[in-house]
Amino acid sequence: METDTVHCDLRDNLARVRTTIGTASHQSGRDPQTVTLVAASKTVEPDRLQSTIDLGHRVFGENRVQEAKNKWPPLLEGNRGLELHLLGPLQSNKARDAVALFDVIQSIDRPSIATAIARESDKQGRRPQVYIQVNTAREPQKSGVLPEEASEFIRACRETLDLDLAGLMCIPPAGEDPSGDFALLRKISEDEGLRVLSMGMSGDYAQAIGQGATHVRVGSAIFGARPPVRS
């Protein structure tokens, strides 16, 4: 009974999010197929992940390498076509595990990490796609390159490090109107000829789609409220 309820919630939530993506896409004259829903699954237990996969979802995002390493290998073994994204900040000593596990690393935020990922990609013969995280609101405590540093960093990632750079990601300040952040990220991506724009979370993904998001990272609207963060 308990499991059925959980499964039901998941199904309803996922359907609701998909509908919202469809509506937001149509309203801005876009094909919903151009928007990828990344289910942000930090703290979500493996059995609920399997239920989500059973509902047909395939693209997931995790925040911590260690948590992902504990949860995902059996799921990747047992299910076809999964795509795993790293959304959280990365330490150089986790670069090896990150390259081995993730298909996309969205949180490239400084030269030392870009270099570590490039070195591991060479070593492992496995080249995850990467996005650069931009600190659009210039928050001192937040990861990401500053907007005015983006261009030079992008060039280094492409030319010097030969990373498979596909796009940009941002996490606007909580509780504020994110439209300026979304517009800035889009402007940088257009100037630099980058295709992917990862922006929008549970509270603002419809708005992000209106402003050009190709990837939305949605957690609580799918999985429900998370337990409070431990740090």
Ligand X SMILES: *Cc1c(COP(=O)(O)O)cnc(C)c1O
Of 150, 184, 201, 206, the one binding ligand X by CB under 6 A: 201
Q: What is the C-alpha to C-alpha distance for residues 154 and 172, in angstroms, rounded to an integer?
A: 20
Burial of 56 (0-12, 13-18, 19+ CB in 10 A): exposed
For residues 146 to 185, the per-residue mask of contacts with ligand X, x marking binding by CB under 6 A and - elsewhere, is -------------------------x--------------
Of 40, 84, 117, 208, the one binding ligand X by CB under 6 A: 40
What ranges make up the beta strands (E) of the chain? 36-40, 59-62, 83-86, 104-108, 129-133, 164-169, 196-198, 215-218
Of 87, 114, 118, 197, the one binding ligand X by CB under 6 A: 87
CB 85 within 8 A of CB 106: yes
Name residues whose C-beta falls within 8 Å of residue 178's C-beta, 6 or more positions apart in sequence: 172, 199, 204, 207, 208
Neighbours of 229 (CB within 10 A): 8
Shortest distance, CB of residue 222 to ligand X, whole angstroms?
Answer: 8
- Interaction of residue 132 with ligand X, rule CB under 6 A: no
- C-beta of 68 vs 171, nearer to ligand X: 171
- C-beta of 28 vs 220, nearer to ligand X: 220
- Interaction of residue 210 with ligand X, rule CB under 6 A: no
Q: Which two tokens stand for residue 21?
A: 């993506």
Residues that contact ligand X, how many (by CB under 6 A):
14
Binding site for ligand X (CB under 6 A): 40, 42, 63, 87-88, 171, 201-203, 217-221
